[in-house]
Structure 1
């Protein structure tokens, strides 16, 4: 089972983990990247650093960590042109690119693929962030099922807190103070839900929730969209109504799987939404 939550280190992550690391200085991010990729090398993965600022010194440090007996190509360096020439217009195509890289890594004798990418240059406009948020959710679904892990880096000093929260919220794992809510792909080994909704959603998160919902494909099964909300610690009535209305717009009812300590069953009882079913799981 892969990890989800807010974490303060990029160390010790597994083969399917997907982390958003928000940084304020490149120096701090470099140290985090080294730890994340070093763990990948130790686990037999091929590691790839994607960053416009990275150079041969960064690659040399990674190659040194890989060791002289590692298979060829254990550590690789790319710039953000790897994402559709530096402008992500087809999120699904980018997922296919990483799927091919993962398959090639396994064919070359590695246990999988691990990518650390500073994608700040790709999300400077609202339109670019919308496309990249869609990509993050699709890529997360791929990682949940295949031997790929990734750490996506966003420069808060350049993008601003609201922009990075929008993107961090599409990851199972996030660095501290990156985002209050997260909407990400469900772990197929744990639940059959269409997605996981986690964190806290109050008035400050209403716009972010609506944006996140607009960027994912919550496919109904038998007329119902099931969402794993066991990691949702709080949701207010406005956000719950918005969630149900979004699913209703897809012609489906909403099923929320919640923790036994959740206050959602009581809230749902007060709202009496006919197309909402709450299941304590």
Structure 2
């Protein structure tokens, strides 16, 4: 499982997303990186229509108008790409991609970057049952090093057994970029199916990692919904880091909460003794132990 920022030409990766916010974060970063590197980018959408994709890419900071006008970005429907002949034919699709790679290189692009939403395969369309065969075989084309692909699968819609098989058809998988990726602290974001942001922490929170921790908390406070903070892999958090957590909870807007999972006994005790457990917007899964007095 790699961060999307690490995807390069030659890669064929899968994104199994739980919510549109996760999908857009990864796909938007994939598109933006390709444009920045001088690659031609093609986006095959199933839902919404191309105008909808162009709109949210623009909201994410992509110069959509300029990229489309210059031919660097093209957004097509599944009907105009995967299902162009009126059915899904792996041989025709691979041949089309190979031709497009050659055309892109001849036009002066550094390569071709393709991303596609694959939910069309869940409809009873001719050839849809051949998707797994296509995903296995097309890897060879991307492995030649002149193109890359990000295949998007909605984990809420694909049956679990089929999604597992499709993921195995790809040499790799991607996720959202880390919010902090230092040696001492790593914070990996993801989304729950209901749209809640989840921040998974690994490492330590102390004075050395305080700037990164404060930046993460600023992101959480501005996320616009409830945020889960998963501490199951956090080794240590100092008192200053705990205070920052409580203060960030107080900045949550519109009644949203900062919800902490897997808080250690030590952290729970500090929150209780300091009174920070009463911070507006803070919720500790499992509650806190009572204060014992001598």
Q: TM-score, normalised by structure 2?
A: 0.52
Where do residues 129-148 of structure 1 align in structure 2 (5 Å cutoff)?
A: 130-148=129-147
Structure 2: which 5+ residue stretches go unaligned?
A: 176-294
CA–CA distance in structure 1, aligned partners of residues 62 and 30 of structure 2? 15
User: What's the offset of the Cα at 1:128?
Assistant: 5.2
Q: Which stretches of structure 1, 4 residues or more, deviate above 3 A after TM superposition? A: 60-71, 85-89, 123-130
Shift in alpha-carbon separation, 1:116–1:70, aligned structure 2, 3 A = closer
Partner SS state of residue 151, structure 2 = strand
- The equivalent position to 1:40 in structure 2, one of 19, 28, 34, is 34
* Number of matched pairs: 170
Q: Who wins on radius of gyration, i.e. which is larger? A: 2
- The equivalent position to 1:80 in structure 2, one of 78, 81, 88, is 78
User: What's the offset of the Cα at 1:137?
Assistant: 1.5
Structure 1: which 5+ residue stretches go unaligned?
A: 1-5, 177-281
CA–CA distance in structure 2, aligned partners of residues 109 and 94 of structure 1? 23
Shift in alpha-carbon separation, 1:59–1:120, aligned structure 2, 3 A = same
1:92 matched to which residue of 2?
91
Question: How big is each residue's C-alpha offset from its partner over 1:219-255, in whole Å with a ceiling of 9 and x where there is no partner?
Answer: xxxxxxxxxxxxxxxxxxxxxxxxxxxxxxxxxxxxx
1:22 matched to which residue of 2?
16
Question: How big is each residue's C-alpha offset from its partner over 1:136-188, in whole Å with a ceiling of 9 and x where there is no partner?
Answer: 11211011114110000111111122111111111011247xxxxxxxxxxxx
User: What's the offset of the Cα at 1:55?
Assistant: 3.2
Question: How big is each residue's C-alpha offset from its partner over 1:185-223, in whole Å with a ceiling of 9 and x where there is no partner?
Answer: xxxxxxxxxxxxxxxxxxxxxxxxxxxxxxxxxxxxxxx
CA–CA distance in structure 1, aligned partners of residues 45 and 13 of structure 2? 16
Instruction: Note if 1:58 corresponds to 2:57.
Output: no
2:155 matched to which residue of 1?
156
User: What's the offset of the Cα at 1:34?
Assistant: 0.3
User: What's the offset of the Cα at 1:27?
Assistant: 2.5
CA–CA distance in structure 2, aligned partners of residues 110 and 28 of structure 1? 28
Where do residues 227-238 of structure 1 align in structure 2 (5 Å cutoff)?
A: none
Shift in alpha-carbon separation, 1:99–1:22, aligned structure 2, 3 A = same
Partner SS state of residue 169, structure 2 = coil
Question: How big is each residue's C-alpha offset from its partner over 1:101-124, in whole Å with a ceiling of 9 and x where there is no partner?
Answer: 111111221111101101111245
CA–CA distance in structure 2, aligned partners of residues 128 and 69 of structure 1? 33
Partner SS state of residue 42, structure 2 = strand
Shift in alpha-carbon separation, 1:118–1:56, aligned structure 2, 3 A = same
Partner SS state of residue 11, structure 1 = helix
2:265 matched to which residue of 1?
none
